Amino acid sequence: MVNYNKLFQKIWRFFRRSSTSELEGYRQAIFYPGSTLRANYDLPEIPIRPTYGDLNLSYELLEAYHWSYEYRHAIDTVASDCFQQLQGQIASWFVEDKLSDGTKVAPEVLEVAEELANTRYGKDLILGGDALMRAAIECLAFGDSFIELGLEKTGLGKDEWDITSAQYLPVFSIFVEKDAQSRTLSYLQRSRLSPSEDDVAFNPLKILHFKYKSRGLYGNPIGFPSLEAWRKFKECSVALETAARDVAIVPWLHILPEDKTEKDRIEYMQRHEAMAASGIITNLYLMNGAEVKKATIAAGDTLKPLMDYWLQLRYMCIPPRIPAWLFPGMLDANGGAKDLNGQPALTYSRLISEVRSLLGEQVRWAINMKLVLRYGYDFYYANRKFDICWPEWILTPLTDYAQELRVKDEPSMAAEEDDDTEEDINEEDGEEDGQEDVEEEELDKVRTGKHSKHTKKLRRRNGAKI
């Protein structure tokens, strides 16, 4: 039976040329099919897809990103640095008008790229600006990130289709299907590990799949080796807290005389606890030979070995290629100073470039799709060569900024030097002549005996005698 309601909605949307795009997936996990309550909150994702065949690892990756100070801020710093500029502007991708060999890029390609960079879905840019920052975070923290592109007719023509929207899909709900030759067949958003009728299947052309260090179907999280350190860190934190409290809180010792029995000790303890419960104890009456004193504290720093181990675990929670000096106090951990002496900025900049390149590869796919939709496959094939570029990333902001200011000031300083006239030179000569006259006058005063401290110095300098 024909679903007329759905048919009328499509016709109405077509003639209105509505901005409602053909997005099929859900931005959150389909854990409760048909329920829209979860869509109103930014809740942590409930993983469905196992990592390395173990669902617990997916939970631990989510836990580490949301709760580990080092893991979370290291990844967020890398992602934000991919889109930073010195004076606060957003550094996003663009297409250069020339290739590295000097070949010019077709103006249609530049137009399509600029249009895609500025396309908005509601208030948000779909791929331009810092819209891909979340993709950088997810592919580093979880290994993968998925964006669904919304395709829609933009006119009355038969082939007038365009990319009008995009949305992120939950990482651990997306499954990739490939054939025996590793060709991607489809992407599935599942509500459970096994297939069900609630699954949403996507055409692979519509999905941008960002993978860090691809291992086949999925990417490899940068901090996966740090999960073991994260487990130990949680246990060590509890042990360190307990040990610090035990060392800091020194108990009182109530020593009874030797002739007292266990019954006397219990009666004394009960009387003392009753007095303590009633308020501050101002008077204490002891038996002959009894004593009340503080327990002695163990000599030396008993927490130092445990504290060093705790710092080392924190250091191991930082993903590789990220300098430890981003975190205050981490240089005290083993290996921090060695990393600092080894110029970590160069290694860190290579990580920034690597993340930008994996983002740019998926942007290239979106541009190619837009070219095919607008100009056809033949045009795309003839003009498919172009480079996704990024603004220069500043390694040492203060030094480069000072150099930039100095370069800008040099032309003006040179112009000021060229404006020096003969009048200025004559004025300088006049000042020198005037100084010589003053010196000569001071020497005359020396000869007549009228001299000051200043003239004495002047006399010594010129070799004169009193």
Each residue's pLDDT tens digit, 385-438: 999 999 887 665 544 444 555 555 555 555 555 555 555 545 555 555 555 555
pLDDT value at residue 304: 81
pLDDT band at 439 (very low <50, low <70, confident <90, very high): low
Whole-model pTM: value is 0.71
pLDDT value at residue 7: 52
pLDDT value at residue 233: 92
Span 201-241, pLDDT tens digits: 998 999 999 999 888 899 999 989 999 999 999 999 888 88
Measure CA 197 to chain center: 38
Please report how the helices 133-141 and 55-67 are oriented relative to each other, as an axis angle in degrees rounded to 10.
130
**Nearest residue to 30 (alpha-carbon basis) of 197, 202, 156:** 197
Residues 68 and 161 grouped into a single domain: yes
For 105, residues 6+ apart whose C-beta sits below 8 A from its C-beta are 95, 96, 97, 98, 99, 383, 385, 386
One-letter identity of residue 325: W
Give me Rg for the CA atoms of the chain: 37
Residues 320 and 359 grouped into a single domain: no
pLDDT band at 454 (very low <50, low <70, confident <90, very high): low
Show the tokens assigned to 136: 């950088």
Residues 275 and 362 grouped into a single domain: no
- Does 75 have pLDDT greater than 80? yes
> What is the C-alpha to C-alpha distance for residues 204 and 97, in angstroms, rounded to an integer?
29
HSE-up of residue 183 (Cα within 13 Å, Cβ side):
4
CB atoms within 10 A of CB 203: 13
Residues 190 and 212 grouped into a single domain: yes
One-letter identity of residue 441: E
In-domain check, residue 418: no
Mean pLDDT of 438-449: 53
In-domain check, residue 196: yes
Q: What's the Cα-to-Cα distance from 83 to each of 79, 93, 149, 402, rounded to whole Å? A: 7, 9, 22, 21
Show the tokens assigned to 369: 């799709």
Residues 196 and 259 grouped into a single domain: no
pLDDT value at residue 38: 60
In-domain check, residue 140: yes
Structural element, H or E, at residue 207: strand 207-211
Residues 45 and 84 grouped into a single domain: yes
Share of the chain above pLDDT 90, in %: 29
In-domain check, residue 425: no
Number of domains composing the chain: 2
pLDDT value at residue 435: 56
Lowest mean pLDDT among 155-169, 360-374, 410-424: 410-424
Span 19-57, pLDDT tens digits: 445 787 877 776 654 455 566 677 778 899 999 989 999
pLDDT band at 338 (very low <50, low <70, confident <90, very high): low
- The domain boundary residue, chosen from 378, 395, 412: 395
pLDDT value at residue 401: 47
HSE-up of residue 198 (Cα within 13 Å, Cβ side):
14
Residues 277 and 368 grouped into a single domain: no
User: What residue has token string 């992602």?
Assistant: 79
Mean pLDDT of 342-357: 83
Residues 53 and 202 grouped into a single domain: yes
pLDDT band at 148 (very low <50, low <70, confident <90, very high): very high
Residues 78 and 166 grouped into a single domain: yes
Residues 151 and 16 grouped into a single domain: yes
In-domain check, residue 434: no
Residues 351 and 370 grouped into a single domain: yes
> What is the C-alpha to C-alpha distance for residues 206 and 219, in angstroms, rounded to an integer?
19
Q: Is 125 helix (H, G, I), strand (E, B) or coil?
A: strand
User: How many angstroms separate the first and last alpha carbons of the chain?
Assistant: 126
Q: What's the Cα-to-Cα distance from 24 to each of 2, 148, 286, 448, rounded to whole Å? A: 21, 8, 81, 106
pLDDT value at residue 307: 85
Span 108-135, pLDDT tens digits: 999 999 999 999 888 899 999 889 999 9
Domain that holds residue 359: 4-223+346-395
- Does 80 have pLDDT greater than 60? yes
In-domain check, residue 272: yes
